[in-house]
Chains A and B, each alone.
Chain A
Amino acid sequence: MSKKYFVMFATDPEVDPRKCAVGLACAMQAVSDGHEVVAFFASHAVKLLQSEYIGSLDSKVSQDEGFCREMLDALISGAEGIYCSTGSQAVVGVTPENASDVLVEGLEMNWSGPPGVIALSAASEVSLSF
């Protein structure tokens, strides 16, 4: 039976890259298993959405080139929605205006914040935080 998943990423991938990769893998798995998945990126985990950064994550988690990007692409194409913290993005210099130059393609990003985290998690049946 399909369930509603809320998957939140808030760990700095520089601090714990493997945890972030595991989170991407689990979110992708939930999508491929047919669940309704909403993903929220906050704090320095917003870096995972950057084209250049996600490409560099493979070496940090001892995976072949393109592995992390494939997981992120699968999440983007299959998730019900991708959300991010506007404030967290601003800290790393990303705004709605320059996002298309920095972030991966196809995001259809929902710019949000703590109110979005609580509203989306309250509407979910399963929440995971990485």
Chain B
Amino acid sequence: MSKSYFMMFSTDPDVDPRKCIVGLACTAQAIADGHEVVVFFASHAVKLLQSEYINTFDAKVAEGQIEVEHWTKSPEVVANSREKGISRSFLDVLLTGAEGIYCSTGSQAVVGVTPENASDVLVEGLKMNWSGPPGVIALSAASEVSFSF
């Protein structure tokens, strides 16, 4: 049975990168399993949405080689990871399969990203919902399962 998931990312990916990629992997898995998934990025986790940052994130996560098969059985992600990297491949699953991608407007501003310059910095296809704490509470209250990474 499909459930509604609220996935929140607020861990600084420079502080605990592996936790962040575990979160991306679990979120992609929830989408692959047919659940309704809403994703919220806040604090320094908003960096995960930046093209340059996510495209090089595998190097921060890796302590040795990343075995993509440990993370997902999705043929699409496995294939894409060879070209784009596993982090970007997981994020692409979120962009195409999530019910909505939300971010904290205040957190984005701290790293210099605004609705005006977002298209120059963030990955394409986000259809971003610019939000904040009221969004976190409204979305989590409406969900059946919530995770915070």
A→B interface (CB under 8 Å): 8, 10-12, 15-16, 42-45, 85-88, 90-91, 113-115, 117-119, 121-122, 124, 127, 129
Contacts and interface: CB of A to CB of B under 8 A. Distances in A.
A87 B15 CA distance: 20
Interface stretch (B19-27, B50-58, B119-127): B19-27
B18 A43 contact: yes
Contacts of A122: 1, 3, 33, 35, 145
Contacts, number: 72
A44 B67 contact: no
Given A11-B16, A87-B71, A113-B71, A42 B146 contact: no
Contact of B149 (A10, A15, A44, A87): A10
A12 B145 contact: no
Contact of B33 (A10, A45, A118, A124): A118
How would you classify the secondary structure of chain A's contact residues: helix, strand, loop or mixed? Answer: helix
A11, A90, A124: residue with the most chain B Cβ atoms closer than 10 Å: A11
B75 interface: no
A120 to B, nearest CB: 10
The 10 A-B pairs with the shortest beta carbon distances in the complex, nearest first, are A87-B70, A114-B29, A43-B18, A43-B22, A114-B25, A43-B19, A118-B29, A117-B26, A129-B147, A10-B19
Nearest to B63: A91
29 contacts: A10-B149, A11-B11, A12-B18, A12-B19, A43-B16, A43-B18, A43-B19, A44-B18, A45-B19, A85-B22, A85-B70, A87-B70, A88-B18, A88-B22, A90-B67, A90-B70, A113-B70, A114-B25, A114-B26, A114-B29, A115-B29, A115-B33, A118-B26, A118-B29, A118-B35, A121-B145, A121-B147, A124-B145, A129-B147
B18 A118 contact: no
Contacts of A45: 19
B28 interface: yes
Interface centre among B3, B11, B15, B70 (most CB of A within 10 A): B70
Interface of B: 1, 3, 5, 11, 15-16, 18-19, 22-23, 25-26, 28-30, 33, 35, 63-64, 67, 70-73, 145-149
B22 A10 contact: yes
Nearest to B25: A114
Contacts of B15: 15
B108 to A, nearest CB: 23
A118 B15 CA distance: 25
Contacts of A124: 145
